[in-house]
Amino acid sequence: MRLSRYFLPVLKETPSEAQIVSHRYMLRAGMIKQSSAGIYSWLPLGFKVLRKLENIVHEEQVRAGHVPMLMPTLQSADLWRESGRYDDYGEEMLRITDRHGRDMLYGPTNEEMITDVFRSNVSSYKDLPLTLYHIQWKFRDEVRPRFGVMRGREFLMKDGYTFDLTKDDALHAYNRHLVSYLRTYERMGLQAIPMRADGGPIGGDYTHEFLVLAETGESEVFYDSAVTDLKFGDRDIDFDDKAQCQGILEEFTSKYARTDETHDEALFNAVPEERRRTARGIEVGQIFYFGTKYSEAMGATVQGPDGKPVPVEMGSHGIGVSRLLGAIIEASHDDKGIIWPEGVTPFHVGIVNLKQGDEEADAACEAIEKSIEALGLEPLYDDRKERAGGKFATMDLIGLPWRITVGPRGLKNGVVELTSRRTGESEELSPEAAVQKIAEIYANHRVSGL
Amino acid sequence: MRLSRYFLPVLKETPSEAQIVSHRYMLRAGMIKQSSAGIYSWLPLGFKVLRKLENIVHEEQVRAGHVPMLMPTLQSADLWRESGRYDDYGEEMLRITDRHGRDMLYGPTNEEMITDVFRSNVSSYKDLPLTLYHIQWKFRDEVRPRFGVMRGREFLMKDGYTFDLTKDDALHAYNRHLVSYLRTYERMGLQAIPMRADGGPIGGDYTHEFLVLAETGESEVFYDSAVTDLKFGDRDIDFDDKAQCQGILEEFTSKYARTDETHDEALFNAVPEERRRTARGIEVGQIFYFGTKYSEAMGATVQGPDGKPVPVEMGSHGIGVSRLLGAIIEASHDDKGIIWPEGVTPFHVGIVNLKQGDEEADAACEAIEKSIEALGLEPLYDDRKERAGGKFATMDLIGLPWRITVGPRGLKNGVVELTSRRTGESEELSPEAAVQKIAEIYANHRVSGL
């Protein structure tokens, strides 16, 4: 992509309404524009990252054997009356009346609707296990939306629903989600720690939140520092293997890690003192086993092996896709701007032409651009007639992890400069060697694009 | 994908509420489920096709140099008051009040919002030309939603907006859209004919609708049969080349082709009688140049080369993505079910095991499945213990264009059967030759997946 043909409205000034760094940088880097309170347009750079996150979530869910579908944003109030949540939900639910006076709502979550899909189509235990998920826009009418996309009103979320015959199977589905989420976050360059969460009115141990450590997190968290040493890495997972998935759950949840909601001072004090940590965290996902709460209320039963009807065991499992952008930036930035992890960067490498209009420099930039595109990667070539300082500032702000700088002086010696956004370190290389290095860096960070 | 692990709730009975064939087949093939009037859940098979169509639209828009972004579904009423359309729009606009009593609406289109994005960020003619587009859910509160996804209330649409300094540039943007749309529809296996449309209150010649001929179309259309001989094919397009794009516009719009809204009996009668055709058509897209209507009302001006403010020239260009599923099925089916064009089929080939549980047949099916996946294609392997007749009926209903049938008798002779859904013709081949043939068929039909 040529910057002269892109739409990247970066701001020099820090917008006054933004209280946290991710919100500031998303506005300044031209990623989002607020259209009304808590509702944002995703400008091209922001949309590109959002779509990558969405694709990573899809890839990892499909890998785990979960089946993608798509439920609509608007729902009928009648479904929510069946579960009893229509009256319970309170003012965060956006209630709507259509032209015929029917009560509708903008879905904040989809347990009722997926239970309706299930009960209309599945009648035998032979069709289980089944996990259906979707990634769709949802709405919660927050009384005070803030922190940009971190606590917006219209937000993109992946929510998956599991249907099983037995509690044992349902807990395997729970574990499968935990494993797939660990992979998902790590691909995004995030360390998201599963922490025991509050079961709410249902209770039980079967819910974990995933938290990213960041100073601006909304939750206070308490953990054994040994949890931050755990890496998911490149494991070969058989998602049908109950023991393997259970083993990973135990590995990642046996160390103390809780939010203030579930914090237990006595248990925490049992952690060796030098490993006790207190910090703040951003919630980026939650998994939840809730048994037959919705299947019983809404009559979602299957015929069991003995011919008798059994209400299905269910769970729901969510990832806050749009809020992940904020979380990633909170966890990865410096005072010049964003630093995208390679797995989610909107463009793989920036190309800065120090002397636009110089025949040799222009030709070298175009050749590098073509070579990178030929690798199946996306460069962003700053081909504007701007000062070098301005070009560098823009590249630093938008946070591409690698930059190739091309100028007449270097070209005389046959070199360009390859710079790491994270370390700031540069090396001089031939253009071919720089492209080769980019190819190596991204060999393990492939996400299908649009 | 193994059918035993998929969610494909096919129906034997024809649902009584479905009046047209695409609606019937989408329900019967387990592609959609109505959740309330004119609002559908996209079950896995339907979502898979929807996502492919979305990806094709993205690929062709990016190829034309247009920049993807994403606007939210909910909009503030204030923006629509600026353009004067809040009061004009009538009951099809779904009006919403949030918890603070603010007037909102579920966007039926985005001219106001994109104009606001533009005026907030662009101030110089140097940033033009610019085309921004998005693919997003929209809502029109149809008084009588019907025909399934063809006239639903919540629907997925691509809408693109062009910003240019001069009318000449804006008309080039118009032509560029016409060219990219021709490519897009042809990749989907559709012939969509651009027909002169009604300019509505603005008037002018600069709007075309794209219509797919089908008996169930809502519009009566009149055309010179010579238009149906035109093929876009595999042309090499330079989307910056004004003359080339203008030439394609002329090639595809100079023959008579109009809907009843713009039909001109005298002009039609000038077409040689043997080429005059009357038929019905489904509208699947529209392009529209409207000049400065919104930019003047909303103050979207840029500084021109002479330093003076100029309201930008605009156009908007839409493709009805979710309705395309219905249009494709209306145009491509028989009495057994859907016949997907190769470019949009949810799975590339079906594998039918005639004797599930037979060791050799199972092994042969699994080997074929693996070979097809290794090509980067997606097979759907019917591994259920069902009668062959039931498996064939399901494959015919869901419309995969190619089927490989594997049974013990054929395997004794070293062959499987490759069957075309469209012609019904079969040939016996070695499993390797069948896979090779599938590879050749899909060599020119690659769409990025999820």
Percent of chain A with pLDDT over 70: 98
- Per-residue pLDDT of A51-74, as tens digits, reads 999 999 999 999 999 999 999 999
pLDDT in tens, A166-179: 999 999 999 999 99
| Residues A35, B65: C-beta atoms closer than 8 Å | no
Cα–Cα distance between A55 and A49 in angstroms, integer? Answer: 10
Return the pLDDT at B447. 66
Cα–Cα distance between B27 and B14 in angstroms, integer? 8
Which of A10, A93, A98 would best serve as a mutation to test chain B binding (most B beta carbons within 10 A)? A98
A317: pLDDT strictly greater than 80: yes
Instruction: Report the range of poorest mean pLDDT among A4-18, A38-52, A318-332, B329-343.
Output: A4-18
A267 in reach of chain B (CB within 8 A): no
Q: Is residue A199 over pLDDT 90? A: no
Cβ contact, residue pair A43, B69, below 8 Å: yes
Average pLDDT, whole number, for chain A?
Answer: 95
Question: Is A1:A38 a contact under the CB 8 Å cutoff?
Answer: no
State the average pLDDT over residues B263-286.
97
Distance of CA A426 to the CA centre of its chain: 30
pLDDT bin (cut points 50, 70, 90) of residue B438 is: very high
- CA-to-CA distance for B259 and B56, rounded, in angstroms? 27
* Cβ neighbours of A271 (radius 10 Å): 18
ipTM score: 0.96
How high is the mean pLDDT of chain B? 95
Structure-token pair, residue A429 = 């290389």
Q: Dihedrals φ, ψ of A291, to 5°? A: 65, -125
* Structure confidence by residue, pLDDT tens digits, B297-323: 889 999 999 999 999 999 999 999 999
A21-337 and A347-441 agree in CATH topology:
no
Contact residues, chain B, for A74 at CB < 8 Å = 36, 39, 106, 139, 153-154
Q: Is A98 within 8 Å of B449 when comparing Cβ atoms?
A: no
Overall CATH class of domain B21-75+111-337: alpha beta
Predicted local distance difference test score (pLDDT) of residue A15: 85
Q: Report how far Cα B280 is from the mean position of its chain's Cα atoms.
A: 18
Tokens for B407, please give them. Answer: 């049974």
Name residue A211's beta-bridge partners.
Answer: A193, A283
Task: Assess whether pLDDT exceeds 80 at residue B364.
Answer: yes
- Residues 6+ positions from A31 with CB-CB distance below 8 Å: A25, A42, A43, A45, A46, A49, A325
Model confidence pLDDT, tens digit, residues B87-144: 888 899 999 999 999 999 999 999 999 999 999 999 999 999 999 999 999 999 999 9
Residues of A with Cβ-Cβ distance to B110 under 8 angstroms? none
The whole-number average pLDDT for the span B182-203 is 87
**How many Å lie between the alpha carbon of A96 and the closest alpha carbon of chain B?**
6
CA nearest B92 in A: which residue? A99
Average pLDDT over residues A87-106: 95
| Distance (Å) of CA A439 to CA A39, A188, A371, A382, B382 | 37, 19, 10, 20, 40
The three-class DSSP label of residue A195 is: strand
Q: Chain B 113-142, CB below 8 Å of chain A: which residues?
A: 113, 116-117, 120-122, 130, 132, 134, 137, 139, 141
| B101 phi/psi in degrees, rounded to 5 | 80, 15
pLDDT of B448 above 70: no
- Whether A156 has a pLDDT exceeding 60, the answer reads yes
In this prediction, residue B236 has a pLDDT band, given cuts at 50, 70 and 90, of: very high
In the block, tokens 């940009």 appear at A148
When CB atoms are compared, the residue of B33, B113, B139 closest to A41 is: B113
Q: What is the reported pLDDT for A148?
A: 94
- State whether A9 and B137 contact (CB < 8 Å): no
Closest Cα partner for A133 from B261, B41, B167? B41
pLDDT the model gives residue B393: 97
Percentage of residues in chain B having pLDDT higher than 70: 98
- Mean pLDDT of all residues in A354-365: 97
- Can you tell me the mean pLDDT for A147-157? 95
Give chain A's end-to-end CA distance (angstroms, integer).
14
Distances (CA, A) of B354 to B101, B212, B383: 62, 38, 9
Q: Is A74 on the interface with B (CB under 8 A)?
A: yes
Which of B65, B113, B143 lies nearest to residue A99, judging by beta carbons? Answer: B143
Instruction: Determine contact, residues B342/B319, Cβ cutoff 8 Å.
Output: no
Give the best residue of B17, B34, B98 to mutate against chain A (max A CB count within 10 A).
B98
**Residue B449 scores a pLDDT above 70:** no
Residue A450, pLDDT > 60, answer no
Q: Residue B47: its chain A contacts at CB < 8 A?
A: 68-70, 134
CB A14 within 8 A of CB A135: no
Reply yes or no on domain A21-337 having CATH 3.90.850.10. Answer: no
Model confidence at A203: pLDDT above 90: no
B104 touches chain A (CB under 8 A): yes
CA distances from A128 to A171, A172, A315, B28, B29 (A): 14, 13, 14, 21, 20
State the pLDDT at residue A448. 64
- Is the confidence at residue A137, as pLDDT, over 70? yes
Return the number of CB contacts < 8 Å for A and B: 162
Residue A315 φ/ψ region, left for φ over 0, alpha for ψ in the -120 to 50 degree band, beta for the rest? beta
The pLDDT > 90 percentage for chain B reads: 91
Nearest in space to B349 (alpha carbons), one of B368, B331, B333: B368
Q: What is the mean pLDDT of residues A327-347?
A: 97
Show Cβ contacts of residue B262 under 8 Å, excluding neighbours closer than 6 positions. B195, B196, B197, B198
Of B5, B36, B47, the CB nearest to A76: B36
- What pLDDT, on a 0 to 100 scale, did the predictor assign at position A197? 86
Instruction: State pLDDT tens for residues A392-409.
Output: 999 999 999 999 999 999
Confidence class for position A150, pLDDT limits 50, 70, 90:
very high
In the CATH scheme, what is the homologous superfamily, with its name and number, of domain B347-441? Anticodon-binding domain (3.40.50.800)
Cβ-based contacts of A94 with chain B (< 8 Å): 96, 98-99
Between A176 and B449, residue with greater pLDDT: A176
According to DSSP H, which parts of A34-110 are helical? 44-63, 77-83, 85-88
All structural domains of chain B with their residue ranges: 21-75+111-337, 347-441
Separation of CA B409 from chain center? 42
Band (B32; pLDDT cuts 50, 70, 90): very high
pLDDT band at A16 (very low <50, low <70, confident <90, very high): confident
Interface probe with A: pick from B42, B43, B74, most Cβ of A within 10 Å: B74
Question: Quick check: A48 and B68 CB within 8 A?
Answer: yes
Tens of pLDDT, residue by residue over A238-285, are: 999 999 999 999 999 999 999 999 999 999 999 999 999 999 999 999
